[in-house]
Amino acid sequence: MGAEAVIEKITARATAEAEHILASGKAAADKRASEAAAAAEAEKEAILAAGRAEADAIRYREKLKAELDVRKNTLGEKRALLDRVYSAVREKLSALPEGEKAELYAKLAASFAMGESVKVYASPDMRAFAEANASRWGGAFAGEIKGSGAVLLSGDRCDADLSVDAIVADLRERTESDAARILFGE
């Protein structure tokens, strides 16, 4: 065998071994690239799933917040309507003719267990009315008090504030839930 044949054989073996090493390296690189692509795809899917879950949670919180705002606004509107109702009651009570007002105050005074010696006090605008009706309420006029639209009865056992504001406040306290049920069906 000649030197050329030996060199050719060695070159062929080296070429085959180089091609084998190159093919192995390419297969290993392809495998690593495929594994990296699969890992990247899995990470991408996990990130997308987490993003979707976070977006769903944000949408849910925003929906709850919007529903709460609607309820708050609705309650505010209902409260404003009830305020207007009781304001109208206050105006009608203030505008009652003297005879009706005296009868109403007599009924209210009778509903309190005042005891003996009822003293009647009134604001300046209610003085003449209180003086004219004090005996009807079981007492005697005792003097003026500050304010407007006020009549106070003071007895041995209790005191009664018969001012328009106190009457309406008491009425509202006792009837507001019924009024809301009637107005709003709740």
In 3D space, the residue among 152, 149, 170 whose CA is nearest the CA of residue 114 turns out to be: 152
Do 101 and 91 share a structural domain? no
Do 132 and 43 share a structural domain? no
Q: Which pLDDT score, from 0 to 100, does residue 134 have?
A: 85
**pLDDT-based confidence at residue 113 (cuts at 50, 70, 90):** low
Q: Cα separation of 90 and 163, whole Å? A: 10
Do 119 and 67 share a structural domain? no
- Mean pLDDT, residues 111-125 taken together: 78
Write out pLDDT tens, residues 11-69: 888 888 888 888 888 988 889 989 999 999 999 999 999 999 999 999 999 999 999 99
CATH number, domain at 143? Answer: 3.30.2320.30
DSSP 112: S
Q: Which pLDDT score, from 0 to 100, does residue 70 have?
A: 93
Do 156 and 166 share a structural domain? yes
Domain boundary among 95, 111, 141: 95
Its domain, for residue 40, covers 1-95
